[in-house]
Structure 1
Amino acid sequence: MVLGDRKFCSLDLANCLKSKEVSFCLRLQKNHCIEMDDLIWQRLYERGIVPRTSFYVQGKRVRKTRPVTGFELACKWKKNYGKYQVKEAWFILTNLGSLPAAINAYQQRMGIEEMFRDCKKEGYDLEGTSLKGNRLINMILLMTLADSSAIFQGTE
Protein backbone atom coordinates (compact mmCIF):
# COMPACT_ATOMS: atom_id res chain seq x y z
CA MET A 1 0.00 0.00 0.00
CA VAL A 2 1.21 3.49 -0.84
CA LEU A 3 0.44 6.29 1.62
CA GLY A 4 1.24 9.84 0.55
CA ASP A 5 0.77 13.29 1.99
CA ARG A 6 -0.23 16.45 0.13
CA LYS A 7 3.30 17.15 -1.13
CA PHE A 8 3.65 13.58 -2.41
CA CYS A 9 0.30 13.20 -4.17
CA SER A 10 -0.23 13.47 -7.88
CA LEU A 11 -3.10 12.26 -10.01
CA ASP A 12 -0.59 10.68 -12.41
CA LEU A 13 0.79 8.61 -9.53
CA ALA A 14 -2.76 7.58 -8.55
CA ASN A 15 -3.46 6.49 -12.14
CA CYS A 16 -0.24 4.47 -12.24
CA LEU A 17 -0.98 2.74 -8.92
CA LYS A 18 -4.56 2.06 -10.00
CA SER A 19 -3.40 0.50 -13.28
CA LYS A 20 -0.98 -1.77 -11.37
CA GLU A 21 -3.71 -2.68 -8.85
CA VAL A 22 -1.71 -1.27 -5.92
CA SER A 23 -3.70 -0.05 -2.92
CA PHE A 24 -3.23 3.62 -2.09
CA CYS A 25 -4.32 6.55 0.04
CA LEU A 26 -2.99 9.85 -1.27
CA ARG A 27 -3.95 13.05 0.46
CA LEU A 28 -5.07 15.77 -1.91
CA GLN A 29 -4.50 19.46 -1.52
CA LYS A 30 -7.73 21.27 -0.77
CA ASN A 31 -7.55 23.21 -4.06
CA HIS A 32 -8.12 20.04 -6.16
CA CYS A 33 -11.54 19.87 -7.81
CA ILE A 34 -14.17 17.15 -7.85
CA GLU A 35 -16.88 16.83 -10.48
CA MET A 36 -20.20 17.17 -8.65
CA ASP A 37 -22.46 16.85 -11.70
CA ASP A 38 -21.72 16.55 -15.39
CA LEU A 39 -19.08 19.26 -16.06
CA ILE A 40 -19.83 21.06 -12.76
CA TRP A 41 -16.62 21.20 -10.74
CA GLN A 42 -16.11 22.27 -7.15
CA ARG A 43 -12.88 22.82 -5.21
CA LEU A 44 -12.58 20.54 -2.20
CA TYR A 45 -12.33 23.44 0.24
CA GLU A 46 -15.62 24.82 -1.13
CA ARG A 47 -17.52 21.68 -0.10
CA GLY A 48 -18.52 23.25 3.23
CA ILE A 49 -16.87 20.58 5.33
CA VAL A 50 -16.73 21.39 9.05
CA PRO A 51 -15.13 19.56 12.00
CA ARG A 52 -16.66 16.17 12.86
CA THR A 53 -17.95 15.54 9.35
CA SER A 54 -16.98 13.02 6.72
CA PHE A 55 -18.09 11.72 3.34
CA TYR A 56 -17.11 9.07 0.82
CA VAL A 57 -17.80 9.12 -2.92
CA GLN A 58 -16.94 6.61 -5.63
CA GLY A 59 -16.39 6.87 -9.37
CA LYS A 60 -15.75 10.61 -9.35
CA ARG A 61 -13.59 12.63 -11.68
CA VAL A 62 -10.91 14.61 -9.88
CA ARG A 63 -8.60 17.26 -11.25
CA LYS A 64 -6.05 19.88 -10.43
CA THR A 65 -5.47 20.81 -14.08
CA ARG A 66 -6.82 18.00 -16.28
CA PRO A 67 -9.56 15.54 -15.20
CA VAL A 68 -8.79 12.00 -14.11
CA THR A 69 -11.67 9.53 -14.06
CA GLY A 70 -12.95 6.89 -11.71
CA PHE A 71 -11.54 7.57 -8.27
CA GLU A 72 -12.86 7.23 -4.77
CA LEU A 73 -12.58 10.20 -2.45
CA ALA A 74 -12.66 9.92 1.33
CA CYS A 75 -12.98 13.01 3.47
CA LYS A 76 -12.81 13.31 7.22
CA TRP A 77 -12.32 16.27 9.52
CA LYS A 78 -11.61 15.28 13.07
CA LYS A 79 -12.22 17.89 15.73
CA ASN A 80 -8.95 17.11 17.51
CA TYR A 81 -6.02 14.79 17.03
CA GLY A 82 -4.75 14.07 20.52
CA LYS A 83 -3.98 17.43 22.09
CA TYR A 84 -3.76 19.21 18.71
CA GLN A 85 -6.69 20.97 17.11
CA VAL A 86 -7.04 19.91 13.48
CA LYS A 87 -7.22 22.94 11.18
CA GLU A 88 -8.58 21.28 8.03
CA ALA A 89 -10.12 18.12 6.63
CA TRP A 90 -8.29 15.20 5.07
CA PHE A 91 -9.22 14.71 1.41
CA ILE A 92 -7.89 11.29 0.46
CA LEU A 93 -7.81 9.83 -3.04
CA THR A 94 -8.03 6.06 -2.61
CA ASN A 95 -9.04 2.71 -4.03
CA LEU A 96 -9.77 0.92 -0.73
CA GLY A 97 -13.56 0.80 -1.11
CA SER A 98 -14.80 2.49 2.09
CA LEU A 99 -14.38 5.50 4.35
CA PRO A 100 -13.22 3.50 7.41
CA ALA A 101 -10.65 1.57 5.37
CA ALA A 102 -9.23 4.76 3.84
CA ILE A 103 -9.08 6.66 7.15
CA ASN A 104 -7.57 3.72 9.06
CA ALA A 105 -4.91 3.23 6.40
CA TYR A 106 -4.05 6.92 6.14
CA GLN A 107 -3.74 7.24 9.93
CA GLN A 108 -0.78 4.84 9.73
CA ARG A 109 1.16 7.71 8.17
CA MET A 110 1.34 9.40 11.57
CA GLY A 111 3.70 6.69 12.84
CA ILE A 112 5.84 7.18 9.76
CA GLU A 113 5.95 10.93 10.40
CA GLU A 114 7.14 10.28 13.96
CA MET A 115 9.92 8.06 12.60
CA PHE A 116 11.02 10.80 10.17
CA ARG A 117 11.02 13.33 13.02
CA ASP A 118 13.19 10.97 15.09
CA CYS A 119 15.71 10.77 12.24
CA LYS A 120 16.00 14.55 11.99
CA LYS A 121 17.43 17.17 14.35
CA GLU A 122 14.86 16.53 17.10
CA GLY A 123 16.18 12.98 17.42
CA TYR A 124 19.18 11.20 15.94
CA ASP A 125 20.18 13.99 13.52
CA LEU A 126 20.91 11.45 10.79
CA GLU A 127 21.18 14.14 8.11
CA GLY A 128 23.85 15.95 10.14
CA THR A 129 26.12 12.90 10.39
CA SER A 130 27.15 12.96 6.70
CA LEU A 131 27.59 9.20 6.88
CA LYS A 132 27.71 7.11 3.70
CA GLY A 133 27.84 3.47 2.70
CA ASN A 134 28.25 0.87 5.44
CA ARG A 135 28.58 3.49 8.17
CA LEU A 136 25.18 4.93 7.21
CA ILE A 137 23.64 1.44 7.13
CA ASN A 138 25.13 0.66 10.57
CA MET A 139 23.72 3.91 11.97
CA ILE A 140 20.25 3.15 10.55
CA LEU A 141 20.40 -0.35 12.07
CA LEU A 142 21.38 1.10 15.44
CA MET A 143 18.54 3.63 15.25
CA THR A 144 16.12 0.83 14.35
CA LEU A 145 17.20 -1.16 17.41
CA ALA A 146 16.84 1.90 19.66
CA ASP A 147 13.36 2.71 18.28
CA SER A 148 12.25 -0.93 18.55
CA SER A 149 13.46 -1.10 22.14
CA ALA A 150 11.54 2.09 23.01
CA ILE A 151 8.38 0.75 21.34
CA PHE A 152 8.62 -2.59 23.15
CA GLN A 153 9.16 -0.87 26.50
CA GLY A 154 6.27 1.49 25.86
CA THR A 155 4.01 -1.40 24.90
CA GLU A 156 4.81 -3.26 28.13
Structure 2
Amino acid sequence: MLSLVWEKRSIPLYWRLLDKRGCSNICEQQALITPVLELLSDYEAIVLGDSLRDSFASREFGSVKLASWLCNKQVKFILRVKQGRYIQSENSDYILLSDLGLLPGTSFYLSDVKFTKQKGLGTFDIAGYWRGKYQGKQEDKAWYLLTNVGTFKQSIDTFKCRNGIETMFKDCKSGGYYLERSPANNQRLNPLILLIAFAYNSAVILCQKIKTMGVEKYVGRLTE
Protein backbone atom coordinates (compact mmCIF):
# COMPACT_ATOMS: atom_id res chain seq x y z
CA MET A 1 0.00 0.00 0.00
CA LEU A 2 1.14 3.53 -0.78
CA SER A 3 -0.13 6.47 1.23
CA LEU A 4 -0.14 10.21 0.72
CA VAL A 5 1.34 12.38 3.46
CA TRP A 6 -0.74 15.54 3.84
CA GLU A 7 -0.36 18.08 6.62
CA LYS A 8 1.85 15.56 8.49
CA ARG A 9 -0.97 13.04 8.29
CA SER A 10 -1.12 10.03 6.03
CA ILE A 11 -4.07 8.75 4.02
CA PRO A 12 -4.34 5.50 1.99
CA LEU A 13 -3.91 6.23 -1.71
CA TYR A 14 -3.15 3.09 -3.74
CA TRP A 15 -2.56 -0.60 -3.09
CA ARG A 16 -2.08 -3.95 -4.81
CA LEU A 17 -2.76 -7.43 -3.48
CA LEU A 18 0.00 -10.02 -3.98
CA ASP A 19 -0.67 -13.75 -4.19
CA LYS A 20 2.21 -14.58 -1.85
CA ARG A 21 3.59 -14.01 1.62
CA GLY A 22 6.68 -11.96 2.37
CA CYS A 23 8.13 -8.82 0.86
CA SER A 24 7.58 -7.54 -2.65
CA ASN A 25 10.34 -7.53 -5.27
CA ILE A 26 11.54 -4.58 -7.35
CA CYS A 27 9.16 -5.35 -10.25
CA GLU A 28 6.17 -5.44 -7.92
CA GLN A 29 7.29 -2.20 -6.29
CA GLN A 30 7.60 -0.51 -9.68
CA ALA A 31 4.10 -1.70 -10.60
CA LEU A 32 2.79 -0.23 -7.34
CA ILE A 33 4.55 3.14 -7.59
CA THR A 34 4.19 3.88 -11.32
CA PRO A 35 0.41 4.66 -11.33
CA VAL A 36 0.84 6.97 -8.34
CA LEU A 37 3.67 8.87 -10.02
CA GLU A 38 1.42 9.32 -13.06
CA LEU A 39 -1.43 10.50 -10.84
CA LEU A 40 0.83 13.06 -9.13
CA SER A 41 2.73 14.11 -12.25
CA ASP A 42 1.73 17.77 -11.74
CA TYR A 43 3.25 17.80 -8.25
CA GLU A 44 6.71 17.40 -6.82
CA ALA A 45 6.56 14.03 -5.10
CA ILE A 46 9.08 12.56 -2.68
CA VAL A 47 8.95 8.81 -2.09
CA LEU A 48 9.54 7.74 1.53
CA GLY A 49 10.45 4.16 2.30
CA ASP A 50 11.79 2.03 5.11
CA SER A 51 13.63 -1.29 5.16
CA LEU A 52 13.69 -1.87 8.92
CA ARG A 53 11.66 -4.72 10.38
CA ASP A 54 10.51 -2.70 13.38
CA SER A 55 8.59 -0.38 11.12
CA PHE A 56 4.83 -0.75 10.61
CA ALA A 57 4.97 0.76 7.14
CA SER A 58 7.04 0.53 3.98
CA ARG A 59 9.61 -1.72 5.61
CA GLU A 60 10.51 -3.37 2.32
CA PHE A 61 11.12 -0.17 0.35
CA GLY A 62 14.79 0.39 1.04
CA SER A 63 16.65 -1.25 -1.84
CA VAL A 64 19.35 0.32 -3.98
CA LYS A 65 17.56 -1.01 -7.09
CA LEU A 66 14.47 0.98 -6.14
CA ALA A 67 16.62 4.07 -5.54
CA SER A 68 18.31 3.69 -8.92
CA TRP A 69 14.96 3.26 -10.67
CA LEU A 70 13.54 6.38 -8.99
CA CYS A 71 16.63 8.34 -10.03
CA ASN A 72 16.09 7.26 -13.63
CA LYS A 73 12.50 8.46 -13.31
CA GLN A 74 13.80 11.79 -11.92
CA VAL A 75 11.80 11.24 -8.75
CA LYS A 76 13.08 12.36 -5.36
CA PHE A 77 13.23 9.81 -2.58
CA ILE A 78 14.34 9.19 1.00
CA LEU A 79 14.76 5.52 1.89
CA ARG A 80 15.79 4.36 5.34
CA VAL A 81 18.37 1.58 5.04
CA LYS A 82 20.05 -0.82 7.43
CA GLN A 83 23.30 0.08 9.12
CA GLY A 84 24.92 -3.12 7.84
CA ARG A 85 25.13 -1.81 4.26
CA TYR A 86 28.40 -0.81 2.61
CA ILE A 87 29.18 2.58 1.08
CA GLN A 88 32.21 3.88 -0.79
CA SER A 89 33.27 7.49 -1.22
CA GLU A 90 35.56 8.55 -4.04
CA ASN A 91 39.13 7.22 -3.73
CA SER A 92 38.37 5.28 -0.56
CA ASP A 93 37.58 1.72 0.49
CA TYR A 94 34.12 0.33 1.23
CA ILE A 95 32.96 0.91 4.81
CA LEU A 96 29.90 -0.16 6.77
CA LEU A 97 27.41 2.53 7.70
CA SER A 98 27.63 1.28 11.28
CA ASP A 99 31.36 2.12 11.30
CA LEU A 100 30.83 5.82 10.61
CA GLY A 101 30.60 6.58 14.34
CA LEU A 102 27.06 7.92 14.49
CA LEU A 103 26.07 8.53 18.13
CA PRO A 104 23.01 10.01 19.87
CA GLY A 105 22.87 13.74 19.18
CA THR A 106 25.10 13.57 16.09
CA SER A 107 24.54 13.55 12.33
CA PHE A 108 26.32 13.59 8.98
CA TYR A 109 25.64 14.05 5.27
CA LEU A 110 27.69 12.36 2.54
CA SER A 111 27.28 13.23 -1.12
CA ASP A 112 27.84 11.07 -4.21
CA VAL A 113 28.72 7.78 -2.56
CA LYS A 114 28.34 4.26 -3.90
CA PHE A 115 25.80 2.31 -1.90
CA THR A 116 26.43 -1.44 -1.61
CA LYS A 117 28.94 -3.31 -3.74
CA GLN A 118 26.54 -3.83 -6.62
CA LYS A 119 27.84 -2.23 -9.80
CA GLY A 120 26.10 0.01 -12.28
CA LEU A 121 23.54 1.54 -9.89
CA GLY A 122 25.00 5.04 -9.65
CA THR A 123 25.81 7.21 -6.65
CA PHE A 124 23.54 8.64 -3.98
CA ASP A 125 23.63 10.82 -0.88
CA ILE A 126 23.53 9.39 2.64
CA ALA A 127 22.08 11.30 5.59
CA GLY A 128 22.84 9.98 9.07
CA TYR A 129 20.84 11.22 12.04
CA TRP A 130 20.46 10.08 15.64
CA ARG A 131 18.23 12.33 17.67
CA GLY A 132 19.52 13.27 21.10
CA LYS A 133 17.58 12.68 24.30
CA TYR A 134 14.21 14.43 24.18
CA GLN A 135 11.89 14.80 27.17
CA GLY A 136 13.94 12.23 29.02
CA LYS A 137 13.69 9.64 26.24
CA GLN A 138 16.45 8.40 23.97
CA GLU A 139 15.87 6.89 20.52
CA ASP A 140 17.46 3.44 20.44
CA LYS A 141 18.33 3.52 16.73
CA ALA A 142 19.79 5.97 14.25
CA TRP A 143 18.49 6.90 10.82
CA TYR A 144 20.60 6.05 7.78
CA LEU A 145 18.81 7.59 4.81
CA LEU A 146 19.56 6.92 1.16
CA THR A 147 18.40 10.00 -0.72
CA ASN A 148 18.69 12.35 -3.68
CA VAL A 149 16.85 15.40 -2.30
CA GLY A 150 20.11 17.34 -2.03
CA THR A 151 20.32 18.64 1.55
CA PHE A 152 20.57 17.21 5.04
CA LYS A 153 17.81 19.41 6.45
CA GLN A 154 15.24 18.52 3.80
CA SER A 155 16.11 14.84 4.10
CA ILE A 156 15.52 14.79 7.87
CA ASP A 157 12.54 17.15 7.95
CA THR A 158 10.77 15.25 5.18
CA PHE A 159 11.46 11.79 6.58
CA LYS A 160 9.94 12.83 9.88
CA CYS A 161 6.62 12.79 8.02
CA ARG A 162 6.97 9.01 8.05
CA ASN A 163 5.52 9.09 11.59
CA GLY A 164 2.15 9.82 10.00
CA ILE A 165 2.53 6.76 7.79
CA GLU A 166 3.37 4.62 10.81
CA THR A 167 0.26 5.86 12.59
CA MET A 168 -1.96 5.16 9.61
CA PHE A 169 -0.74 1.58 9.21
CA LYS A 170 -1.17 0.92 12.92
CA ASP A 171 -4.72 2.29 12.77
CA CYS A 172 -5.48 -0.01 9.84
CA LYS A 173 -4.18 -2.94 11.85
CA SER A 174 -4.17 -3.25 15.64
CA GLY A 175 -5.02 0.42 16.26
CA GLY A 176 -8.61 0.29 15.12
CA TYR A 177 -9.67 -1.43 11.90
CA TYR A 178 -7.95 -4.79 12.61
CA LEU A 179 -7.45 -5.44 8.92
CA GLU A 180 -4.95 -8.24 9.56
CA ARG A 181 -7.62 -10.23 11.40
CA SER A 182 -10.06 -10.17 8.52
CA PRO A 183 -10.88 -13.65 7.13
CA ALA A 184 -11.92 -12.13 3.77
CA ASN A 185 -10.55 -13.62 0.57
CA ASN A 186 -8.97 -11.45 -2.14
CA GLN A 187 -12.31 -10.82 -3.82
CA ARG A 188 -13.75 -9.34 -0.63
CA LEU A 189 -10.54 -7.88 0.74
CA ASN A 190 -10.27 -5.18 -1.92
CA PRO A 191 -13.72 -3.69 -1.16
CA LEU A 192 -12.91 -3.88 2.57
CA ILE A 193 -9.67 -1.95 2.11
CA LEU A 194 -11.54 0.56 -0.04
CA LEU A 195 -14.09 1.15 2.73
CA ILE A 196 -11.29 1.61 5.27
CA ALA A 197 -9.58 4.07 2.92
CA PHE A 198 -12.76 6.14 2.56
CA ALA A 199 -13.39 6.10 6.31
CA TYR A 200 -9.81 6.98 7.19
CA ASN A 201 -9.57 9.75 4.59
CA SER A 202 -12.83 11.25 5.83
CA ALA A 203 -11.58 11.19 9.42
CA VAL A 204 -8.30 12.89 8.46
CA ILE A 205 -10.09 15.62 6.48
CA LEU A 206 -12.51 16.22 9.38
CA CYS A 207 -9.62 16.42 11.86
CA GLN A 208 -7.92 19.00 9.64
CA LYS A 209 -11.09 21.10 9.57
CA ILE A 210 -11.35 20.90 13.36
CA LYS A 211 -7.72 21.96 13.67
CA THR A 212 -8.35 24.93 11.37
CA MET A 213 -11.29 25.97 13.53
CA GLY A 214 -9.06 25.90 16.61
CA VAL A 215 -11.43 23.79 18.71
CA GLU A 216 -9.32 20.65 19.21
CA LYS A 217 -9.39 20.92 23.00
CA TYR A 218 -13.20 20.69 22.97
CA VAL A 219 -13.25 17.47 20.98
CA GLY A 220 -13.00 14.04 22.61
CA ARG A 221 -12.95 15.05 26.29
CA LEU A 222 -11.89 11.80 27.90
CA THR A 223 -12.85 12.95 31.44
CA GLU A 224 -16.49 13.61 30.62
Shared fold per TM-score greater than 0.5: yes
Q: Which amino acid aligns with 1:4?
A: G
Measured after TM superposition, the shift of residue 31 of structure 1 is: 0.4
* 8 A contact 2:76–2:148 mirrored in 1: yes
What does 1:134-149 align with in structure 2 at a 5 Å threshold? 134-149=191-206
Aligned to 1:3: 48
What does 1:4-153 align with in structure 2 at a 5 Å threshold? 4-6=49-51, 7-36=60-89, 38-63=91-116, 65-67=117-119, 68-80=121-133, 84-129=137-182, 130=184, 131-153=188-210
Alpha carbon RMSD of aligned pairs, Å?
Answer: 2.2
Measured after TM superposition, the shift of residue 97 of structure 1 is: 0.6
DSSP 3-state at the match of 2:94: strand
Unaligned runs of 5+ in 1: none
Measured after TM superposition, the shift of residue 127 of structure 1 is: 3.1
Distance 2:160 2:132 in 1: 15
Unaligned runs of 5+ in 2: 1-45, 52-59, 215-224
Runs of 4+ in 1 over 6 A off after TM superposition: none
Percent identity at matched positions?
32
Length-normalised TM-score, structure 2: 0.62
Distance 2:179 2:194 in 1: 11
Distance 1:80 1:147, change over 3 A: farther
Distance 1:19 1:81, change over 3 A: farther
Q: Deviations along 1:18-45, whole A, 9 cap, x unmatched?
A: 0110010001100011114525111001
Pick which of 110-119 and 67-76 moved more: 67-76
Distance 1:146 1:83 in 2: 32
Q: Which amino acid aligns with 1:149?
A: L
* 8 A contact 2:89–2:112 mirrored in 1: no
- Larger relative strand fraction: 1
Q: Which amino acid aligns with 1:66?
A: Q
Measured after TM superposition, the shift of residue 147 of structure 1 is: 3.9
Distance 1:126 1:154, change over 3 A: farther
Length-normalised TM-score, structure 1: 0.86
